Amino acid sequence: MQIRDRVQEFRRVKASLLKPHPNNWRTHPAAQHDALRGVLAEIGFAGALLARPLPDGSLQLIDGHLRAETTPDAEVPVLIVDLDDAETAKLLALHDPLAAMAQTDRQSLATLLDQVETDNDTVRAMLDAMLDAPDTSLSTEPEPLDAPDLPEAFQVVVQCRDEAEQQSVYERLTGEGFACRLLTM
């Protein structure tokens, strides 16, 4: 498979000059705003926003809307990509869900969290909740289900020609004292 490099350049741009994408479907609750402010205060920018050039020369955000909104006067790191409208829509729709497919290695997370210190209450609350949170990945692989503790049961499934025969067999077996259920598959 040949993979195209769509990154044209890296620039630092005043955040307020970046145009939000009109179809950005992600919303950001207050706790996320507070946590981001805490991370930015303690660490700063450690990743780039993602934008594309528009015909008028301005830049339209694809990823990083909250960072741009939170720091409108800051010069932020931006990767400029050469995507058309359809490709931008596809990436906007898939960028976060693709990341959400990652699963959690709880032991590795616990080891990592033991190394993390913060003075920000919102960031601390987020870190404290991470190990207790259920894995909300969007993985396409089904998680193995724990088998319920069911009592051992011996059953016979009888396939009938039609509903009338099913009813007849059911009545005969229940008449003989068997516990029966009617199923249609």
Residue type present at position 156: V
* pLDDT score recorded for residue 56: 97
User: What is the spatial distance between Cα 21 and Cα 23, in angstroms, rounded to a whole number?
Assistant: 5
Token match 């960028």: residue? 95
Q: Report the chain's C-alpha Rg in angstroms.
A: 27
Q: Assess contact for 63 and 33: CB atoms under 8 A.
A: no
Q: How many CB atoms lie within 10 A of CB 62?
A: 21
DSSP code of residue 19: E
pLDDT tens-digit series, residues 131-148: 777 776 655 555 555 656
pLDDT tier for residue 165 given thresholds of 50, 70 and 90:
confident
For 31-51, give one letter per residue: b (16+ CB within 10 A) or e.
eeebbbebbeeeeebeebbbb
Would you say the pTM of this structure is higher than 0.75?
A: no
Give bridge partners of residue 75 from the DSSP assignment.
14
H or E stretch including 133? none
Give bridge partners of residue 49 from the DSSP assignment.
78
pLDDT tens-digit series, residues 87-130: 999 999 999 888 888 888 889 998 999 999 999 888 888 888 88
| Domains of the chain, first to last | 7-106 (3.90.1530.10), 152-185 (no CATH)
Q: How many CB atoms lie within 10 A of CB 108?
A: 9
